[in-house]
Each structure stands twice: as structure tokens, then as C-alpha cells.
Amino acid sequence: MAVKDKKDPDRWNPEPRWLAWVVVLALAGVYTALPSHLIVGPRWAFLVIIVLLLITTIYSHYRKYHRLDQILGFVESSVVTLGLIASVGLLISGLPTHREEPAELLFSATALWITNVLVFTLWYWRLDAGGPHGRDRRKGHDEGAFLFPQMTLPPGARISGEPSEWAPNFVDYLFLAFNTSTAFSPTDSPVLTRWAKLLMMTQSLISLTVLALLAARAVNIL
């Protein structure tokens, strides 16, 4: 039986979780919309698994079972990552057979590229500086796997509207993942840790495969 965390201090600036929940649900919808030959198992199975995990995660969060919430979050991210890798592999393996029509191929490549961005957004958000629970317990953000520009500014140079003790939220990690999939680099946020470098290399490789090999071919044969 899950036990509530004994130490749950008042959080100085709790980060909203609903964006991550919406992204997880969107990932399930995008995966379900893929052509049947790019889906492992029954079409409905992935959606059902994600929805059940998401409901349990939301319940755990509001009941303050933070450790269970964290574990379920990693399970969700792992499931959608495995689905992404499997679909990219199936799409590549089907290219020589010309199984997909040009429009369908372009749709599949676009859906997988978007999935790639969202999946790695979840990983960066869940892992950086102890994840959302760890960041909530700190006043400000002066450590982590990524050196965000706001971390290098003195307090008096904060952007108007930003809190004096700045910390990244889900949108910052979404921006980081989007840049990685488009520019194949972190652009404005240097990477400081090895695990983050490995994740970004993996994301860039998947994005390069989808854009250069799949989408380019689809456009050329339209």
C-alpha cells in the first residue's frame, strides 16, 4: 500500500503538473493515430495502458504519494519511449517495400517527429535536478543538467515578470527538446551532465533519421 511522504515541506513555487499530463495523453493519441503496421500489438492497448497509468499518477499526486507518483511517471515515459522506438524501427524496415503511400509516409514521419520532441521533453523534465518534486523543494535553480540562460543572470537582471528565484518549468524543457530536434543541439542551454548528453544524442539521432530519411523521401515522391 502506498504511504504518504513523511516530509512534505511547503513548496515555494510548486510547478503545475497538468502540462505533463496533457502531453502524455497527447502522445497516446498520436501513437494510436499511426497506421496499423507501425503499431505494436492491438491499436487500443497502448491508449488503455497510458490512460490507466495517467489516472493512477494523477491520483497519487493529489494524495501526496510522491514516491509512487515519481515511479509511475518514469513508467509512463518508458512506455511512450519504447513505442516511439518501435514505430521508427517499423517505419524504416517498411521503406524498401514501399508499403506506405507518400501522403501516409509524410504523416507518419511528422507524427513520429512530434512524438520524439514530446517524449524527450518528459525525460528532461522528470530527470533534471531531481525532477519536479526535487525542484519544488528549492528556492531558485542553481544546479542541474542544463545551464539555462536565467541561471547566469544576476538577481537585478531578471526579465520583467520573472520571479527573483527563477526555476525552469515544463515549457523550458519543451523548448529545449524542440531545439534539439530541429537544430540537433541545445542552442541556448549548454548540457552539463553525461546522462543528459546521451539523451540529447539519442533524440537528435531519432530526429535526424525521421527528417532526413523519411520525410525527405516522402516530399520527393509526392
Per-residue confidence (pLDDT) for residue 215, from 0 to 100: 64
Per-residue confidence (pLDDT) for residue 97, from 0 to 100: 72
66/133 Cα distance (integer angstroms): 8
pLDDT in 10s for each residue of the chain, 222 residues:
444 554 444 444 567 788 899 999 999 999 999 988 888 888 889 999 999 999 999 999 888 888 898 999 999 999 999 999 999 888 888 777 766 677 788 888 889 999 999 999 999 999 998 888 877 777 766 678 888 887 777 665 555 555 557 778 899 999 999 999 888 777 778 888 899 999 999 999 999 888 877 766 766 665
Closest CA to 95 of 207, 214, 206, 210: 214
Closest CA to 56 of 76, 38, 41: 76
pTM assigned to the model: 0.85
Per-residue confidence (pLDDT) for residue 163, from 0 to 100: 54
| Block residue for cell numbers 496499423 | 36
Per-residue confidence (pLDDT) for residue 7, from 0 to 100: 46
Per-residue confidence (pLDDT) for residue 197, from 0 to 100: 93
What are the residue ranges spanned by the domains of the chain?
A: 18-157+165-220
Per-residue confidence (pLDDT) for residue 59, from 0 to 100: 93
